[in-house]
Structures are given as structure tokens and as C-alpha cells.
A and B are shown apart, each in its own frame.
Chain A
Amino acid sequence: MSGVAFPTTDSVDFLVVGAGAAGGVVAKELATAGFRVVVLEQGPYLRETDYSHDEIKYTFQPGLTNDPKVQPITYRKSEADHPQPMKAIEYGRQVGGGSVHFTANYWRFHESDFHEHSLFGEVRGADLRDWPIAYADLEPYYTKAEYELGVSGLAGANPFEAPRSKPYPLPPMPAKSSGVLFDQAAKKLGLHPFPAPVAILSESYLGRAACVNCGFCESFGCEMRAKSSTLVSVIPLAEKTGRCEIRPKCYVRKIETDDAGRATGAVYFDRTRREIFQRAKAVFVCANGAETPKLLLMSKSKRFPEGLANSSGLVGKYLMWDNGGEAQGLFEHPLNEYKGIQVTRLIHDYYATDPKRGFYGGGGIDARFDFYPAGFALRGLPPDAPRWGSEYKRMFTTYFNRTMSLLAHTTSLAQAKNTVSLDPEVKDAWGLPAIRITSDYHPDDVATMKWMMAKQIEILEAAGALKTWSQPYDVVSNMPSRHLMGTCRMGNDPGASVVNAYCRTHDVPNLFLADGSNFVTSARQQPTATIQALAYRAADYAIRAAKRGDLS
């Protein structure tokens, strides 16, 4: 921690809630533009020296994610069901947020993702809408994110990608055996495999060293600082200005407003659970697609009886899920997939919705291996394999280095009945309401995953798999959802959206929301690039607004 420390009695220019993928970007932009910024982060401030390759700590316990023992989550499939305690959602909970432990897939949206409603019309049971912005509005910010954070990839290799103003700053990572097998099989089938764009350094960049292929990306923090989290990229730049203070272990319970309906700051519990009010001229909530609506719903007042910025009634609605099924294949020779980053090749051939398929939806398919030793033995074998005994042992010991997965990343339709709300009964360790998730697939979500699964198996077979199988992908099997989108959707109509095209709430002029909650559609998952591009764009707008006196 090298930043400034403001007395809590000072009023600052901007308060940022959440130091994650979006909050880190926003803090850096605001501080480097000359504003005084306090960032309140629920989780601790960890460094690369705090991490390890401990599978038990990071994948069987909430090492870098929300801990349901202190912050319970409840889940129900529909309003008719009684919610049950369940880790239905998962998010990064430390400075750097999910950008610390994510797999680092870094896909830009396609042009069509921003106006699918215009392209395909209504989808029964869903609320498919266009975004109020187009790809071209975000393109400069995608580029900025790729260059400031450090992203590896090969421009032009994906024939379906939207136009780019610049190539990736770094060349792609080396192909693993899964990538080579996938590449050959996809080409054999007439598809267009391309090197995975990832927020991981293939070469040294901006003072950080290149990835050493240790293989512990997904769920782990990077000890080499080669994964381009906000923790190692933009947050140090924010602190270096001397105008940004990151306050870890600070848990915000309410955004306060004045009689004019403007945000005045936030009340939070500090590390000793003391309540503190931090005053600010403007507030950015970047707490993720579940914590952001939760905070707004908790910030009720006389003027905002249904929660802050919720005149539309849409705060917490349209939660979109981390959809996609996983297929696996066994090969004759060792792949040693535990070495190297998780994903090195993928396709976007099935990305666009094709009405001829009879349903809305599409997706990408990547070749990967995201199992660690114990997780593979517990969850990576074919569902009909023995679960104990000598044949079980023979299978997990011989399959571990000969298996690869094809994971689909597919659409999740926005449905008003899928929500983040406050559980009326269950409380967390601070006495605040637990997040209650109500969520189920749309029939087209299921149809998309099923259709994609047939393609995944087809590719594995073309790659020469001795045997293929798939893991279950019902809504509970796909938990926890790590992509939390749609719960404060963006739009031009204040009656049908929570934020405007610049992530500014329609109801509270000095309150911005920047994270996955803004998403109008899910695209095909892998939301981080778009979350960060939106955050850059929102910060840019807020800086201009503040400079012309529009926020104070």
C-alpha cells in the first residue's frame, strides 16, 4: 500500500466502491485526471507474495472469493421456491477483485452483440433489448484497456471479430497440446480456430515479466504478476498519483443522499467493524453484478423507498448467468495440460444467433484444461466412471495428463424473473441482508448449450479423442456463476433501465455504476474486457462532467 491516506473526515472528489476489474480502472482514470479518490474494498489487500499453488485453499475454500460462512448467499429457482443457502454466485473479494483470480480470457464483444433485438426481434419469455451504444463507441476503450493492462493475442486471426484500431500489444501465448489438437480438428471441420486473447503477458511489458507457464491461472492469484489484474497494472498507477487511497476490508452498507437527491458519500464498516461515513462529491459503485444491486437496494431512504436509483424497479432484475457446457476427451498420448495457461485456442464460428437453428443464442468454444489434481479426480472423470476403488484410481491416474476439455461460452437471456434481491431472513456477519439469487435458464439458453455440446463432441472426435464425455450443465451444476451481468441495465429510457449510456444512473446525477450490472445482453460470456472498456468510458465521461462542474 503506497497511496495517500485521507482523513475520513475529509470530503473527496470521488468515492469508488469496489477495487476490482472496473473499480481499479475507474480509480486510476480519476486519480490521474487530478481528482482525489477513495476506494472502499470489502476484501484484503494481498500481494503476489501472499499467493501459492495451494489447490485446497483456492478451489475448495474461498481463498480469493466471497466466503458464504460470513456472507451467506441464498438461492431459489423461482419465486415459488423457498431460498436455500448455497454458493450460487462467486466473485473476487480483494483489491483487484475478480481480475486477480480469473482465467484471463479477454474477448471483445462482436458488433452484433449491441443490437441483437433489432437483428432478431422479441424472444418469448425474455426481455431482449439493444444496448444504447454501439461497438464503435467502445472500440477506443477496448484498445485502451488492452494496452494499459497488457493483453496477448493475434489481431485478424478471428475472421468474425469486429474491426480493431490497433493490434494486440503482445503476441499470443504458445499453443498447448489442447490448442494444437483443437486447431487441427477445427480446421478439418472447416472452422476458424484462433489464438486465445488473454490478459496474460506473453512477453515482458510495462515493467512486468512474461508468464512462466506455471498453469495456476483460474482461481489463483499470479505470483509472477504476469496476469494483468488491476492489482498489478492500473491500481499502482492510481496510488502513484498521491491522490488515490485504497481502503481494504471496508464494507459499504449504504450510499447516502441529500435532500436534492444527490449522493453525498457512503457509510461503511471498517476493518474493526466501526461505522464510518466517507463524504464525496460523486460516487462510482463498481461492486459487481450482485453486490452493486444489493448495495442500491440497501440504500433506501424517504426519497428512494425502493432503493437508490431504482425508479424503474429494475435494480437487481435481469440477472444473466455464466452459461455453457463442458465436454471432455481422452487422448492416446500425454497432453500434460496442467502446464501453461488454461486456454490457448478457440472458435467464434457459432457465435452469432442463427434463426435457422430455431432458438436465440450462440457461443464460443475454447480448448482448455481447468482442472487441478484433486479437482480432476473429484469432478473431471466421465459421470458414469466409478467414484472409488481400484478402477477409479486407475482412471484418474491415467486420465489426468491425457484429457482436455472443450468449454462453450453461451448466451444467457435477460429475464425479469431472474434477480438479485435482499433475503428477508438470512443475514451476514455484519447483520446485513444476504444476497438472494432467483434464477433459472430460459428454454433457449438450454437449447443453445445442447446444440453447442453436439459441436464440442464433434470437434473432440475430429481431434482423435479415444473417448468423449460431457459434464452436467443444469443451472445448479453450473454454479457458482462467476459472470454476474444485467442487474442494473443500461439504456436511454429511464423507465426501462437503471443507467444511461455512460453508466450514470438516471435518478441520481452524481452516481455511476460500472461493472457487469450494466450489461443489457450477456453476449457470449467472457465479460471482463467489456466491463473494463465500459469502466474506461464511464470514467472518461465523469471526468469531463466533473471538470465542467456538472457533478459538484
Chain B
Amino acid sequence: MAAWPGVLSALRDAHTAAGSPTPHFETLDPDSAGEIDAIAAQIIPSTGGPGAREAGVIYFIDRALSTFAADDRETYRTGMAQLQQKRRELFPNSTTIASLTGQQQIALIRTIEASDFFELLRTHTVLGFLGNPSYGGNRGETGWNQIGFENLMAYQPPFGYYDARGDGEKK
């Protein structure tokens, strides 16, 4: 798995390519951003197409914690502290979550998947992947493209396979 500096640099490149401003965190420090990003990338991995990392979910989370989810900062702080403690117990020689192998990250997340913190992080990851891009995630409508949501203001029927096929045909 890529360590955080590599991720940051890749994201910076992506931003530059997209003509967006340089990434900038308002609430998270770069170290914890890298750790949270690593978990988000296991919640929605980049298998079979872009995942949380490519969609810029970490920027969504940073902005959420700076705005409408500011009340959740403490949950993140204590949740991450407990997760780091678990990491040290499970992988004593490790230094960060981001530097664990994918299998190790999955094993680590399994230890907290029933917690309120994980449910919050899962919710934020999904919102950052599939929510409106104006919140900083779902970059380039990455998440919407993955599920086949077009984001237009108007549609004309037929909408799907079965109404296009019409009432006449029997299944």
C-alpha cells in the first residue's frame, strides 16, 4: 500500500491535472489524514474501478469535520487513537496504518467494524464517494460514474430496460 506522502503527491498531481487548487486540509493534520485515507480506501477500495481514494473522500471528510460534522471531531480523535492502539497490538513493528499491507489493514478494520466510530467513518466515506461534489469528494463525479448515476436535471422516458421494452411483452 502507498504511504501517505505518495498518496498526497498523487492527489496533488491529480489536482494539478484537473486544474484544481492544491489540496489543503482545514481540520485534519496530514498524518491523520493519511491514516484515515488508508481506512477509507479499504471501505471503498479501488478494485474494479476508482474508489474512495480517487474520489478524494479524505477531502470530503476534512471539510465535513470543519463544517456540518464538526461535532464528530472527538469521535474521530478517540476512534483513531483506539485504532492506533489496536494496530500496535496486532502489528508491533508497524509505524502507521497507511504503511500496513492491504491484508493487515483489513484485519485491523475487522477489530472495529461494529463500533460507532467505524459506522461514522463508513457513512462519511460513502457520502464522500457518492455525495454532491461540492462537498469536496466525488471528484469528477467518480462515484456517480461508478454506479451509473448521470446527474442530469431532466430525463425523458423510457428510463430503463423494462419500460423501454414496453407493456406488450410478457416476461
Contact = CB atoms under 8 A, between A and B. Distances in A.
B115 to A, nearest CB: 12
A212 B155 contact: yes
A65 to B, nearest CB: 15
A177 B156 contact: no
Interface stretch (B78-86, B88-96, B121-129): B121-129
B47 to A, nearest CB: 4
Contacts, number: 140
B113 A388 contact: yes
Interface string B99-124: 00000001001000100000000110
B42 A401 contact: no
A334 B164 CA distance: 11
A340 B170 contact: no
Interface stretch (A267-275, A373-381, A450-458): A373-381
B147 A400 contact: yes
Which of B43, B127, B147, B159 gathers the greatest number of chain A CB atoms within 10 Å?
Answer: B159
A56 B69 CA distance: 11
A338 B149 contact: yes
Interface in A190-224: 212-215, 223
Contacts of A338: 149
A69 B128 CA distance: 23
Interface in B116-164: 122-123, 126-127, 129-132, 134-135, 143-144, 146-149, 151-163
Size range of the interface on B?
Answer: 35 or more
Contacts of A463: 171
B113 A387 contact: yes
A189 to B, nearest CB: 13
Contacts of B129: 374, 377
Contacts of B126: 374, 377-378
A467 to B, nearest CB: 16
Interface in A52-81: 52-57, 60-61
A177 B159 contact: yes
A53 B132 CA distance: 8
A390 B47 contact: yes
Nearest to B159: A339
A11 interface: no
Nearest to A212: B154
Interface string A386-414: 01111011101100110000000000000
Residue among A214, A333, A335, A377 with the highest chain B CB neighbour number at 10 A: A377
Interface stretch (A110-118, A180-188, A418-426): A180-188
A174 B132 contact: no
The residue in A56, A333, A394, A396 that gathers the most chain B C-beta atoms within 10 A of its C-beta is A56
Contacts of A61: 68
Most buried by A among B135, B158, B166: B158
Contacts of B151: 53
A176 interface: yes
Nearest to B166: A180
Contacts of A183: 167
Contacts of B19: none
B34 interface: no
Given A55-B131, A176-B159, A184 B154 contact: no
Nearest to B151: A53
Contacts of B131: 54-56, 373-374
Interface in A32-60: 52-57, 60
A175 interface: yes
Which among B135, B170, B171 has the highest number of chain A CB atoms within 10 Å? B171
A278 B158 CA distance: 53
B170 A396 contact: no
Nearest to B154: A212
A352 to B, nearest CB: 28
B160 A373 contact: no
Contact of A387 (B122, B127, B146, B167): B122
B160 A335 contact: yes
B166 to A, nearest CB: 8
Contacts of B123: 378
B48 A176 contact: no
B161 A177 contact: yes
Contacts of B113: 387-388
Contacts of A177: 158-163
A392 B130 CA distance: 14
Contacts of A388: 42-44, 109, 113, 122
A3 to B, nearest CB: 30
Contacts of A56: 68, 127, 131-132, 135
Contact of B163 (A52, A53, A180, A378): A180
A374 B163 contact: no
B159 A389 contact: no
Contacts of A153: none
A387 B134 CA distance: 25
Nearest to B143: A373
Contact of B159 (A213, A378, A397): A213
A400 B148 contact: yes
A214 B155 contact: yes
Contacts of B44: 388, 392-393
A193 to B, nearest CB: 11
B163 A390 contact: no
B35 to A, nearest CB: 16
Contacts of A176: 157, 159-160, 163
Which 3 pairs show the lowest CB-CB distances between chains A and B? A177-B160, A333-B161, A212-B154
11 contacts: A60-B127, A177-B160, A180-B162, A180-B163, A184-B170, A334-B161, A373-B131, A373-B144, A373-B147, A389-B106, A393-B146
Interface of B: 42-45, 47-49, 51, 68, 106, 109, 113, 122-123, 126-127, 129-132, 134-135, 143-144, 146-149, 151-163, 165-167, 170-171
Interface of A: 52-57, 60-61, 174-177, 179-181, 183-184, 212-215, 223, 331, 333-340, 373-374, 376-378, 387-390, 392-394, 396-397, 400-401, 463-464
Given A340-B159, A397-B146, 15 more contacts: A53-B132, A54-B134, A56-B68, A56-B135, A60-B127, A213-B159, A339-B159, A373-B130, A374-B126, A374-B131, A377-B130, A378-B122, A390-B47, A393-B45, A400-B148
